Amino acid sequence: MLRVLLVEDERAAARTLQQMLQECQPATEVLALLNSVRSTAQWLAEHPAPDLIFMDIHLADGTCFELFKRTAVSSPVIFTTAYDQHALEAFRSNGIDYLLKPLALPDVQRSLSKFDALRQPRPVPPIPPDLSELLRTMQLLQSPAPATYRSSWLGTFKNKLVPVAAEQVAYFSIRHGAVTLTTLDGQRYLLDVASLDELEAEVDPRQFFRGNRQILFAKRSIADLEPYYNHRLLVNLTPAPSEEVVISKPRVSELKAWLSAR
């Protein structure tokens, strides 16, 4: 029986991870599902240490690294996050693996296999056998990514094809199946693209955020943010799009983390 603690502030992500754990190891027992640094610290103080912890980095009341400052965590941790800039800190905080969202079943299975291998009794070598692998992983995460993102698009305007640089893009939007590029000066171009999913895979995720199914906007186009009812967030863009850009409650923390990232 594998006793697991899940620390995740997005319910949908937590349910998905629970299902993956059951598929990978049916004998897994999820001891608790927690969503904040405070509740996790309290739970660890009141219960025996779990065999393994899956922990999201961005929680309801801050980053999970605050937990390691407040309390001693003896269990190994598999970190989950949408961003890779915390890898070094994760490996310094009981981390045995670092999974990027959205999680994939093979990645979860590989992490569990790694955990199982680490639990097997073995002579203690002078250097951990997987240290070189971890160092290579951290070096890759620290190294600048190659410039593989799209730098321009050809947009249609008045029966002409016009090149538009990525730096000029305010947002991409889709309506009635047509994908449009809007520039910072308000010019709109029709793109020969099937979906926003295709564009999302081409742009720099540090500069563009998928607000919802209808819009993919650039950080430079954000004028300000407003609280919206039911704990959602209204993003005001410049130039203003034809419809309001409302961020769902589960993705508000993700948007704030994206805006705060360097």
pLDDT in tens, 103-156: 889 888 988 888 888 877 655 555 555 555 556 666 655 555 455 788 999 999
CA atoms within a 13 Å half-sphere pointing along the CA-CB vector of 28: 21
Which CATH number does the domain housing residue 31 bear? 3.40.50.2300
Domain count, the chain: 2
Q: Are residues 137 and 10 in the same domain?
A: yes
The pTM of this model reads 0.47
Q: Are residues 173 and 224 in the same domain?
A: yes
State what percent of residues in the chain have pLDDT above 70: 85
- 255 backbone dihedrals φ, ψ, rounded to 5°: -65, -45
Checking if the pLDDT of 170 tops 70, the result is yes
* The pLDDT of residue 117: 83
20: closest CA among 118, 120, 133, 101?
Answer: 101
User: If pLDDT is split at 50, 70 and 90, which confidence band does 92 have?
Assistant: low
Q: Are residues 175 and 113 in the same domain?
A: no
**Distance, CA of 60 to CA of 196 (rounded, Å):** 29
Checking if the pLDDT of 220 tops 90, the result is yes
Q: Are residues 8 and 101 in the same domain?
A: yes
Q: Are residues 136 and 163 in the same domain?
A: no
Cβ atoms of 178 and 189 closer than 8 Å: no
Cα angle value 145/147/153 (rounded, 5°)? 140
Q: What is the span of the domain harbouring residue 195? A: 152-260
Q: Are residues 117 and 138 in the same domain?
A: yes
Cα-based distances in Å from 144 to 91, 97, 171, 208: 19, 21, 25, 18
- The answer to the question of residue 126 being in a domain is no
Mean pLDDT estimate for the chain: 85
* The pLDDT of residue 165: 94
Q: Which of 87, 111, 142 marks a domain boundary? A: 142
